[in-house]
Amino acid sequence: MDRFRRFFNKLRLLFGRNAYDSGLAEEMAFHQGQAEQAFEAEGMTPDEARHAASRQFGNATRLKEQSHETVGFWFEGVLQDFLFAIRQLRKNPGFACTAILMLALGIGASVAIFAFVDAALIRPLPYANPNRLVAVTESIPMFPRANLSYLDYLDWKKMNKVFRSLDVWTPGGGMLNTSSGTVLVRDMRVTDGFFHTLGVDPMLGRDFYSGEDLPSAPNTVILGYTTWQTRFGGRKDVIGQKVTLSDIPYTIVGVLPKSFQFAPRGDAEFWIPLHDTGDCAERRSCHNLDGIARLKDGVTVQAALADMTSIAQQLERQYPDTNRGQGASVMPLSELIVGDIRPILLMLLGGSSLLLLIACINVANLLLVRTESRQREIAVRCAAGDGCKLREAVAEGSLLAAY
């Protein structure tokens, strides 16, 4: 019951501050009058009794504030500190604008750099279990990461013991026939299990079927989300429609989700099965593909590299004319994306943090200089038992950062 009574008393103070203050003033006046009568009974004159009672009673304003802090809610005092800080900043617009500008530059630069570093280094790739994805390519002394040939890819896919799936991709371009004319568009040629390896499902329609990348399969295409919105009006009946790319008709079978991005290369408008029927697909010396694979559970990148290197050596012995000196490269997909810019990004992050620190130090110096000019006010507030509050300094600093 006492707890509920205290709670309702606090509510009454919160919504009936004037009535509470009037009652408190009457009670304080009554006790001070009692003290004056006691001093007069001891032989003091009325003026002496009044002064003695005032000294004994203490600072009336401070006593009222202490009563409010005791009876009221905790946030009322915090609100008063923020209101006081706002009044102080409005009295000194030059100081407020300078401090806000310094903090804005420091915080803005730090947030911008951190967002970039977060996207590149910290945030996981937007695929299912991205830590199991690796980039797979061939390797020669001149190029540690070299494109692989279609025939080598088929052998690697058949002979490896470390990948749950292995697929290849290659960027391209084509001419799209539209009602307003012919435009150049970017496309991506991928094997049938490419999106399955990434762990991405179309938001509309279906993925490529197994074997849909063979020369005998029908021509199908999956649209990127932006392409679906801009070129096809976001219509759901787009599935099954025809689109012509470089005079070849394709049937639209799916639309990728809005969140999908293929970080190693960038977005493409059309995703087409790799119908490699040309002369390049028949020659091991023709290298035009990049590989992406998903590791089996428990297999490390080092184990995968060792297995693929062993396969490359076997193919080198089997095809010495075309595969001489060709090894294998296996690295985490995230490392492929970041590459050599990791140290630069970390350096930028450190520089932005230092800039924020300098801004905070400059604002702290401004606050110290301003405090020097307020020494007299602070001394009076401390003497009255009302000042020297850490909360007021925190409130003022919080307001500057919030602006």
| Co-location of 175 and 313 in the same domain | yes
pLDDT in tens, 88-101: 777 777 777 777 78
State whether 60 and 84 are in the same domain: no
Taking the C-alpha atoms of residue 248 and residue 95, their distance in angstroms, rounded to an integer, is: 68
State the pLDDT at residue 276: 65
137 within some domain: no
- The CA-atom distances, in angstroms, between 60 and each of 3, 9, 40, 252, 397 are 28, 21, 21, 82, 30
Same domain, 32 and 61: yes
Report, as an integer, the average pLDDT of 3-13. 58
Work out the average pLDDT over 32-42. 74
Expressed as residue numbers, the domain containing 193 is 147-325
Is residue 140 in a domain?
A: no
Query: In this structure, are 116 and 60 located in the same domain?
Result: no
Task: Please report, for residues 3, 54, 191, 224, the alpha-carbon distance to residue 207 in angstroms, rounded to integers and kept in the order given.
Answer: 63, 87, 11, 12
> Is the pLDDT at 171 greater than 80, yes or no?
yes
* Domain-terminating residue out of 53, 71, 89: 71
pLDDT at 272 over 80: yes
DSSP tag of 150:
H
- Taking only the tens place, the pLDDT of each residue in 321-347 is 899 889 999 999 888 777 666 677 778
